[in-house]
Amino acid sequence: MDLFNLTANQLLTMISSGQISAADVLSSVRVRQQAVGQKTNAFIRTYDETGNGAAFPVPIGIKDNICVKGREVTCASKILKGFRPPYDAAVVEKIKASGGIVLGSLNMDEFAFGSSTESSSYGIVRNPWDLGCVPGGSSGGSAAAVAAGEAVWAIGSDTGGSIRQPASFCGVVGLKPTYGRVSRYGLIAFGSSLDQIGPITKDTTDCARLLGILAGFDHRDSTSVDLPVPDYTKSLDRHVRGLRVGIPKEYFIDGIQPSVLAAVQAAIDFYKKEGALICEISLPHTEYAVATYYIVATAEASSNLARFDGVEYGLRAVPSRPRKAGIVDMYEETRAKGFGNEAKRRIMLGTYVLSAGYYDAYYLRAQKARTLIKNDLDKAFLDCDVILSPTAPTTAFRIGEKTNDPLSMYLSDIFTIPANLAGIPAISLPCGFDEKNLPIGLQLMAAPFAEERLLAAAFAYEQAHGWHVQRAKL
Amino acid sequence: MGGMYKEQNFNFSENMDFETVIGLEVHLQLNTATKIFCGCRNVFGVEANTCVCPVCLGLPGSLPVLNRDVLFSGIKVGLALNCSINTFVKFDRKNYYYPDLPKGYQISQYDFPIAKAGFLPVMTGGQEKRIGITRAHLEEDAGKLIHDDAINATLVDYNRTGTPLVEIVSEPDMRSADEAYDYLTTLKLALQYLNVSDCDMEKGSLRCDANVSIRSRGETKLGTKTELKNMNSFSAVKRAIDFEVARQTRLVIAGESIVQQTLLWNEEKGITIPMRSKEQAHDYRYFPEPDLVPFTLTEAEIDKVRCGLPELPYARLHRLIEKLGVSEYDGTIIVQDKTFADFFESALALGVDVKKLCNWMNGPLMKELNDRKCRLGDLKLTPGMLVELINKVEDGTVSNLAGKEILAEVVATGRKIEDIIKEKGLTQVSDEALIGKIVDEIILKNPQVVEQVRSGKANAAGFLVGQAMKQMQGKANPKIINEFIQRRITNV
List pLDDT tens digits, range B19-42: 999 999 999 999 999 999 999 999
- CB-closest option in A85, A223, A299 to B59: A85
Q: Which residues of chain B have a CB within 8 Å of the CB of A86?
A: 54, 59
Query: Do residue B151 and residue B167 come from a single domain?
Result: yes
DSSP state of B308: T
Which structural domains are found in chain A, ordered by start?
3-243+394-469 (3.90.1300.10)
Query: Do residue B280 and residue B137 come from a single domain?
Result: yes
**Per-residue pLDDT at B478:** 73
Length of chain A (residues):
474
Q: Taking Cα atoms as reference points, which of A48, A56, A72, A46 lies closest to residue A24?
A: A56
For A310-350, how does the pLDDT look when each residue is reduced to its tens digit (9 = 90+)?
Answer: 999 999 998 877 776 778 899 999 999 999 999 999 999 99
Question: Is B318 contained in some domain?
Answer: yes
Of A121, A138, A224, A412, the active-site residue reads A138
A244 to chain B, closest Cα gap in Å = 32
Q: Which residues of chain B have a CB within 8 Å of the CB of A355?
A: 283, 285
Q: Is A162 a catalytic residue?
A: yes
Q: CB of A183 within 8 A of CB of A224?
A: yes
Give the mutation candidate from A182, A303, A371 for the B interface (greatest B CB count, under 10 A). Answer: A303
Interchain pair B58, A312: CB under 8 A? yes
Query: Do residue B454 and residue B418 come from a single domain?
Result: no
Interchain pair B58, A67: CB under 8 A? no
Q: Which residues of chain A have a CB within 8 Å of the CB of B60?
A: 67, 73, 75, 80, 83, 85, 188-189, 307-308
**Blockwise average pLDDT, block size 10, chain A, 474 residues:** 93 95 94 96 94 84 98 98 97 95 97 96 98 97 98 98 98 98 98 98 98 98 97 91 96 91 97 97 96 97 97 90 79 95 96 93 96 98 97 95 80 93 98 97 98 97 95 92
Inter-chain CB pairs, A–B, below 8 Å: 101
Whether residue B2 is predicted with pLDDT greater than 80 in this model: the reply is no
Of A63, A78, A94, A176, the active-site residue reads A63
B105-108 and B206-216 as β-strands: parallel, antiparallel, unpaired?
Answer: unpaired
Query: Do residue B294 and residue B437 come from a single domain?
Result: no
What pTM value is reported for the model? 0.89
**Per-residue pLDDT at B279:** 55
**Per-residue pLDDT at B4:** 41
Question: Is B238 contained in some domain?
Answer: no
Q: Which of A313-327, B243-257, B406-420 has the highest mean pLDDT?
A: B243-257
Which residue type is seen at A422? A
Q: Is A92 on the interface with B (CB under 8 A)?
A: no
- CB-closest option in A219, A312, A355 to B283: A355
Interchain pair B60, A67: CB under 8 A? yes
Query: Do residue B411 and residue B438 come from a single domain?
Result: no
Final residue before a domain boundary, out of B370, B399, B424: B424
A111 to chain B, closest Cα gap in Å = 11
Question: Is B248 contained in some domain?
Answer: no
For B45-63, how does the pLDDT look when each residue is reduced to its tens digit (9 = 90+)?
Answer: 899 999 999 999 999 999 9
Average pLDDT of the segment spanning B214-225: 89
Whether residue B368 is predicted with pLDDT greater than 90 in this model: the reply is no
Interchain pair B63, A185: CB under 8 A? yes
B348 to chain A, closest Cα gap in Å = 50
**Per-residue pLDDT at B428:** 66
DSSP B201-251: TTTTSEEEEEEEEEEETT--SB---EEEEEE-SHHHHHHHHHHHHHHHHHH
Interchain pair A356, B104: CB under 8 A? no
Q: Which residues of chain A have a CB within 8 Å of the CB of B287?
A: 299-300, 303, 354, 359, 363
**Per-residue pLDDT at B211:** 96
For A164-191, how does the pLDDT look when each residue is reduced to its tens digit (9 = 90+)?
Answer: 999 999 999 999 999 999 999 999 999 9
Question: Is B245 contained in some domain?
Answer: no
- CB-closest option in A83, A192, A331 to B290: A192
Query: Do residue B322 and residue B416 come from a single domain?
Result: yes
- CB-closest option in B60, B156, B293 to A222: B293
Of A98, A142, A162, A168, the active-site residue reads A162
Q: CB of A351 within 8 A of CB of A300?
A: no
- CB-closest option in A185, A223, A312 to B102: A312
Final residue before a domain boundary, out of B301, B319, B348: B301
B102 to chain A, closest Cα gap in Å = 6
User: Among all residues of chain A, which has the CA nearest to that of B39?
Assistant: A220
Query: Do residue B296 and residue B317 come from a single domain?
Result: no
Q: Which residue has the higher pLDDT, B328 or A280?
A: A280
> Hey, is B155 helix, strand or coil?
strand
Q: Enumerate residues 6+ apart whose C-beta is below 8 A from B363.
A: none
Q: Is A421 on the interface with B (CB under 8 A)?
A: no
Distance between CA atoms of B61 and B42, rounded to whole angstroms?
Answer: 22
B104 to chain A, closest Cα gap in Å = 5
Q: Which residue has the higher pLDDT, B372 or A275?
A: A275
Query: Do residue B54 and residue B166 come from a single domain?
Result: yes
Give the mutation candidate from B92, B283, B291 for the A interface (greatest A CB count, under 10 A). Answer: B291
Whether residue B454 is predicted with pLDDT greater than 90 in this model: the reply is no
Interchain pair B61, A221: CB under 8 A? no
Q: CB of A180 within 8 A of CB of A224?
A: yes
Peptide bond into A224 cis (omega under 30): no
**Per-residue pLDDT at B484:** 76
B3: confidence class by pLDDT, cuts 50, 70, 90? very low
Q: Which A residues 144-203 touch B at CB under 8 Å?
A: 184-189, 191-193
Q: Is A87 on the interface with B (CB under 8 A)?
A: yes
Domain containing B442 equals: 432-491
Query: Do residue B296 and residue B358 come from a single domain?
Result: no
Q: Which residues of chain A have a CB within 8 Å of the CB of B71?
A: none
Q: Is A223 on the interface with B (CB under 8 A)?
A: yes
B5: confidence class by pLDDT, cuts 50, 70, 90? very low
Adjacency order of strands within the sheet including B18-29 = B84-85, B115-124, B127-140, B164-170, B18-29, B206-216, B226-231, B261-266, B271-274
B277: confidence class by pLDDT, cuts 50, 70, 90? low
Average pLDDT of the segment spanning B416-435: 73
- CB-closest option in B54, B95, B97 to A86: B54
Average pLDDT of the segment spanning B386-411: 82
User: Among all residues of chain B, which has the CA nearest to that of A331?
Assistant: B97
Q: Taking Cα atoms as reference points, which of A437, A129, A431 lies closest to residue A263?
A: A431
B53 to chain A, closest Cα gap in Å = 9
In total, how many domains does chain B have? 3
**Per-residue pLDDT at B228:** 94
Interchain pair A184, B99: CB under 8 A? no
Question: Is B141 contained in some domain?
Answer: yes
Question: Is B225 contained in some domain?
Answer: no
User: Among all residues of chain B, which has the CA nearest to that of A88?
Assistant: B61
Q: Enumerate residues 6+ apart whose C-beta is below 8 A from A440.
A: A168, A259, A260, A263, A264, A390, A395, A430, A431, A432, A433, A434
> Hey, is B184 helix, strand or coil?
helix
> Hey, is B305 helix, strand or coil?
helix
- CB-closest option in A305, A307, A351 to B102: A307
Whether residue B267 is predicted with pLDDT greater than 60 in this model: the reply is yes
Query: Do residue B283 and residue B357 come from a single domain?
Result: no
Burial bucket for residue B447 (CB in 10 Å: 0-12, 13-18, 19+): exposed
The domain that holds B454 is classified in CATH as 1.10.10.410
Final residue before a domain boundary, out of B424, B446, B472: B424
ipTM of the shown complex: 0.95
Q: Is A317 on the interface with B (CB under 8 A)?
A: no
DSSP A430-446: EEEE-TTS-EEEEEEEE
Q: Which residue has the higher pLDDT, A91 or B355?
A: A91
Interchain pair B63, A220: CB under 8 A? yes
**Per-residue pLDDT at A241:** 94
DSSP element (H, E) containing A351: helix A341-354
Question: Is B260 contained in some domain?
Answer: no
B278: confidence class by pLDDT, cuts 50, 70, 90? low
Query: Do residue B386 and residue B346 come from a single domain?
Result: yes
For B172-203, how does the pLDDT look when each residue is reduced to its tens digit (9 = 90+)?
Answer: 999 999 999 999 999 999 999 999 998 988 88
**Per-residue pLDDT at B65:** 98
Interchain pair B285, A354: CB under 8 A? yes
Q: Which residues of chain A have a CB within 8 Å of the CB of B54?
A: 85-87
B153: confidence class by pLDDT, cuts 50, 70, 90? confident
A384 to chain B, closest Cα gap in Å = 29
Question: Is B203 contained in some domain?
Answer: yes
Q: Is A363 on the interface with B (CB under 8 A)?
A: yes
Whether residue B394 is predicted with pLDDT greater than 90 in this model: the reply is no
A443 to chain B, closest Cα gap in Å = 27
Query: Do residue B93 and residue B109 come from a single domain?
Result: yes
**Per-residue pLDDT at B203:** 86
Whether residue B7 is predicted with pLDDT greater than 50 in this model: the reply is no
Q: Which residues of chain A have a CB within 8 Å of the CB of B290?
A: 191-193, 223, 300
Give the mutation candidate from A92, A293, A298, A311 for the B interface (greatest B CB count, under 10 A). Answer: A311
Interchain pair B102, A192: CB under 8 A? no
